[in-house]
Chains A and B, each alone.
Chain A
Amino acid sequence: MNETPRPFYWTFITLCGLVIATYILFPVFWLFLASFKTRDELAQLPIAFWPKDPTIQAYRDLFDSGSQSSQLLNWPTLISNSFTVAVTSTIIVVVLGTFAGYAFARLKFPGRDLILGGLLVSRMFQGAALLLPTYRLMNMLNLQDSLIGLILLYSAFGLPFATWIIASSLREIPFELEESAMMDGASRLQSMVMVVLPLATPALITAAMWHFVGAWSEFAFASILLESNENKTVTIGLASFVELFTLEFQRVGAAATLVALPIMLVFFFGQRYFTRGLLAGAVKG
């Protein structure tokens, strides 16, 4: 490796990063600012970038049970549904993914590496192609329009990648540590729980974050499976909201900000694990 610093190169990379980040984040930030404006301010031309008179009225309206919007969409219910689905499926995915990942990392069985690779490939088949079959399957199982159905579906979609990322990280942990634990009197389960998992925390957190964010922001499957208002999740709520309140953009801004908040929090607190967890499989050391 060339040890001398290359200032031009790094300046260039940083600039590119800034440009891309601005390009992506500007509309988001604008929406965020819009949520603190009044309807009148948004109707004025030219539109000011910063709110003249910041107000949280738009947020109040979302939760005010007497307001026009909450009669159509009940935000506390939407949020609680999304949390239920995202948190439950995250727990299922991480727990099952841990055991499956451990098996892939530690046991020898025919076709192991093929199956593990297949788990990664299976992610590429998700999307529109699965919408209709999934819909019919859920109908057959009588799980349409139910949060349980959605939890099972998200868990099934999330498990392969979680298993893969946990397995790659467990492979990096020397088996000798477990042998040592077994000599110390540990059972297989004890050695996994007391020795291996604490060392795999970054991978577990990464898998959990990845799944939570995906489940929280999933729209397509939720929208075809959920029908009744009391079962809807925030992403569906947001979509209906945009249709209903095109003229009240400050409310759309407030709703969007609210929906994005948990994801931002997750990344804010989990960031240092996230990069480590994703790199664990790729980098030796």
Chain B
Amino acid sequence: MGSVNLRGIRKAYGAVEVLHGIDLDVEEGEFAVLVGPSGCGKSTLLRSIAGLETISGGEISLAGKVINHLPPKRRDIAMVFQNYALYPHMTVAKNMGFSLRLSKESKSEIDRKVTDAAEILGLTELLDRYPKQLSGGQRQRVAMGRAIVRDPELFLFDEPLSNLDAKLRVQMRSEIKELHQRLKTTTIYVTHDQIEAMTMADKIVVMRGGHVEQIGSPLDLYDRPVNMFVAGFIGSPAMNFVPASVRDASVMTTSGAEIGTQEGVESVGEAIAGIRPEDLRLSDTGQEATVSLIEPTGSETQVTLRTMDGNLILTTRDRLDLDVGQAVHVMAAPGKTHLFDAKSETALKLRESA
């Protein structure tokens, strides 16, 4: 196991640069998740670390060694592909033992490691099957088995769960997490599913357009997003954004209604207020709104509100007595309003005292 250190990674396809200088440190044993919208360069970054793409600039180190110029086979990195990439002509056991066979380990050693890994992953019964005789979830496990038998320095996963149905995805999510807690192998995991990122990561890396937007723990990113992109990307349903101004810690919408209070913010004429759906409350004063949609899920209820400043989403665990079309007032819980610069979309600094 080793730490990963990326310095100024650039990658261009011809004249088009898709990674614009990525800096990232993943500690030994850490589970880092790369998230971001489609096309932002997650796979490219992962494949660059794997050695499947040659980078056009920067430095990749693994366990303190620069590995830029090593071919994939000499990097000691295992990768799980989105489509699993199992060898169709080999049994499950052969698939899992392939890397060991290449590194010339003895037959008994290969058997032992494959049996051990199969046991951890619940594949013991399936060792003699061929990939086409397996379900999606089982293939996924074989792909992971192939990675863990090697005991590499680093695991890379590229959207490994995206081909599974919702239920299986949740189950495999926990399995991968448990596996990581057991093996403690440094892991970089790519997904565009922010819930996957939140639940699995020690460290989330949010990417957009070939740049890193923010790196931090899941709750860090949730509570202190550095810009509107991260704020909107992390959390579901997404954060509400409304144009606002701030005077004496009071956040006002353009219609002049108070929508929240936030200590420690300079007064500012033009800003964007961001409020998470669960921080929005029904109140006696505040922003006027009309209930336009009520969606109970059982554990909580999601309410869509129409206001003069656009739609707002509110979620609550309380049983609300509301009707569609009803007029209400809403306001953010005190201190739960995020404020962003209207132009740069970056978070406004809070004063130290706050």
Contacts and interface: CB of A to CB of B under 8 A. Distances in A.
Interface string A166-178: 0000000010110
B158 to A, nearest CB: 10
A41 B103 CA distance: 70
Given A174-B85, A177-B85, A182 B52 contact: yes
Interface of A: 174, 176-177, 179-187, 190, 194-195, 198-199
28 contacts: A174-B83, A174-B85, A176-B81, A177-B85, A179-B52, A179-B72, A179-B85, A180-B79, A180-B85, A181-B87, A181-B98, A182-B51, A182-B72, A182-B73, A183-B50, A183-B52, A183-B73, A183-B78, A184-B73, A184-B78, A184-B98, A184-B146, A184-B150, A185-B73, A185-B103, A186-B102, A187-B73, A198-B89
Interface in B77-113: 77-79, 81, 83, 85, 87-89, 98-99, 102-103
B12 to A, nearest CB: 16
A12 to B, nearest CB: 36
B70 to A, nearest CB: 12
A182 B85 contact: no
B71 interface: yes
B331 to A, nearest CB: 52
Nearest to B147: A183
A183 B85 CA distance: 11
Contacts of A182: 51-52, 71-73
Contacts of B99: 184-185
Contacts of A199: 88-89
Interface in B36-58: 50-52
Interface centre among A183, A187, A195, A199 (most CB of B within 10 A): A183
A198 B146 CA distance: 20
A187 B103 CA distance: 11
B187 to A, nearest CB: 15
B20 to A, nearest CB: 24
Contacts of A187: 73
B87 A183 contact: no
A121 to B, nearest CB: 30
Given A180-B87, A182-B51, A185-B99, 10 more contacts: A176-B85, A179-B72, A179-B85, A181-B98, A182-B52, A182-B71, A183-B50, A185-B102, A187-B73, A194-B98
Contacts of B88: 199
Shortest beta-carbon contacts, A-B, top 3: A184-B99, A180-B85, A185-B102
Contacts of B79: 179-180, 183
Contacts of B102: 184-186, 190
Contacts of B73: 182-187
A183 B72 contact: yes
A258 B71 CA distance: 54
Nearest to A201: B89
Contacts of B51: 182
A143 B77 CA distance: 54
Interface in B93-137: 98-99, 102-103
